[in-house]
Amino acid sequence: MYKKSDPHLLQEVVSIFRARSTTNQLIGGMNEIEFETIREKIYNWTGIYFLDEKKYLLEARIVKRLTMLQYTTFKEYAKQLENETFLETELPFLYTAITINETYFFRCMEHLDSIQNFIIPELVREKNLHSKEKKIKFWSAACSSGEEAYTLAIIIKEEIAPHYPDFEFEIIASDIDTSILSKAKTGLFTEYSIRHIPAVYFQKYFSKQGSQYKIDDEIVQMVRFFSMNLYNEIEWKEVRNIDCVFCCNVMIYFDQESKKKVLLRIYDSLEQVGYLFVGYSESLFGIENPFSRNYMLKSLGYKKEERNRLKKQRAEEFV
Ligand SMILES: C[S@@+](CC[C@H](N)C(=O)[O-])C[C@H]1O[C@@H](n2cnc3c(N)ncnc32)[C@H](O)[C@@H]1O
């Protein structure tokens, strides 16, 4: 249901209506074969699956792209996607057209509380006992325009790092959509994005620039952005030795099989003890995965405990 306070949803509804009227001007809209071709290309490259009943959504999202390319039918576009050379150059534009980049600062407050109060103390204990490297590494996978990663940076700088002077904190952030990553790097945000930032941080780290808000460079410099398709196995080499992953509000677009694949890769990218957080409306329920559930105050984190698993396995083998 559309809420008055949700301008992103309103924008999406308006753009669907606009796109639909443009779609109607295109001869016949998208037929089943064209839908199947385009849906399959998207799925094979991104893991994002458009259900049959979401055909109108796919039409609405890519119609602007067709107009830009001066195609007058979906048939022409679907046919071109069968051409490998075209497909390769077109994919980044197609991702941009179909992905939803909705995000804002301090979106997952409860996860942040858990990180501060439970996860960091545990990871610090763990590293002090088992590791020479005093470093804790966060990853915002599917970071969109960067609000999640910058929120983490603010919390680390203000609430965490001062208590652990021996430790280094690193934040990496990735997304499939290169145009949204360029936006993230500018550090400029709209009124919508900044609306939940606690006043004390807002005053300290933001300044008005025209109609937008610029985040302080010292926060921008705490985050390293890079492009990465979570669905592409080869691209996972970049991410290793992660202590805590935020993979929020992206797996909702994947089917069960893609979710399973991505979860296993996240598991492998984590240290021996590590955590995964997903969005509030998501859950790993019903998806085969190696994580254990860890309830902390109001939030649920998924935990990797490889060391314990291996110990248990060895003990069982011994008996
Ligand atoms: C709704 S935003 C979520 C942003 C942020 N994580 C949050 O929760 O506020 C979803 C992001 O997932 C990205 N995305 C979609 N499919 C992806 C894939 N296969 N690999 C990496 N990123 C993907 C989109 O480009 C988009 O920026």
What pLDDT digit, counting tens, does each position of 94-128 carry?
A: 988 998 899 999 999 999 999 999 999 999 999 99
Q: Residue 74: pLDDT above 60?
A: yes
Q: What is residue 179's predicted lDDT score, i.e. its pLDDT?
A: 92
Confidence band, pLDDT 50/70/90 cuts, at residue 319? low
Task: Please tell me whether residue 141 adopts helix, strand or coil conformation.
Answer: strand
Most confident of 16-25, 130-139, 278-287: 130-139
Q: Residue 243: pLDDT above 80?
A: yes
Work out the mean pLDDT of the chain and round it to a whole number.
89
What does the block give as tokens for 269?
Answer: 């990218």
Which residues face 301 on adjacent strands? 294
Q: To test the ligand 1 pocket, which listed residue (176, 183, 247, 299) has its Cβ within 8 A of the most ligand atoms? A: 176
Lowest mean pLDDT among 1-5, 34-38, 94-98, 186-190: 1-5
Task: Give the Å distance between the CA of 288 and the centre of ligand 1.
Answer: 22
Task: Please tell me whether residue 273 adopts helix, strand or coil conformation.
Answer: strand
End-to-end Cα separation, the chain, in angstroms: 57
Lowest mean pLDDT among 68-77, 218-227, 310-319: 310-319
Task: Give the Å distance between the CA of 301 and the centre of ligand 1.
Answer: 19
> Other CB atoms closer than 10 Å to residue 182's CB: what's the count?
12
Q: In 3D, which of 307, 245, 252 has the Cα closest to residue 276?
A: 245
Task: Give the Å distance between the CA of 268 and the centre of ligand 1.
Answer: 20
Q: Give the chain's domains with CATH numbers.
A: 7-98 (1.10.155.10), 109-315 (3.40.50.150)
Q: Residue 138: pLDDT above 50?
A: yes
Q: Residue 289: pLDDT above 80?
A: yes
Task: Please tell me whether residue 260 adopts helix, strand or coil conformation.
Answer: helix
* CB of 102 sitting under 6 A from ligand 1: yes
* CB of 48 sitting under 6 A from ligand 1: yes
Q: Residue 159: pLDDT above 80?
A: yes
Q: Residue 4: pLDDT above 50?
A: no
* CB of 108 sitting under 6 A from ligand 1: no
The C-alpha atoms of residue 177 and residue 229 are separated, in whole angstroms, by 8
DSSP secondary structure letter of residue 253: G
In whole angstroms, how large is the CA radius of gyration of the chain?
21
Q: In 3D, which of 83, 81, 44, 39 has the Cα closest to residue 61?
A: 39
Q: Residue 3: pLDDT above 50?
A: no
Q: What is residue 5's predicted lDDT score, i.e. its pLDDT?
A: 45
Residue 245 CA, distance from chain mean position: 10
Q: Which amino acid is located at 273 in the chain? A: V
Q: Considering the chain, what percentage of its residues have pLDDT values greater than 90?
A: 71
* CB of 99 sitting under 6 A from ligand 1: yes
* CB of 251 sitting under 6 A from ligand 1: no
* CB of 142 sitting under 6 A from ligand 1: yes
Task: Please tell me whether residue 242 adopts helix, strand or coil conformation.
Answer: strand
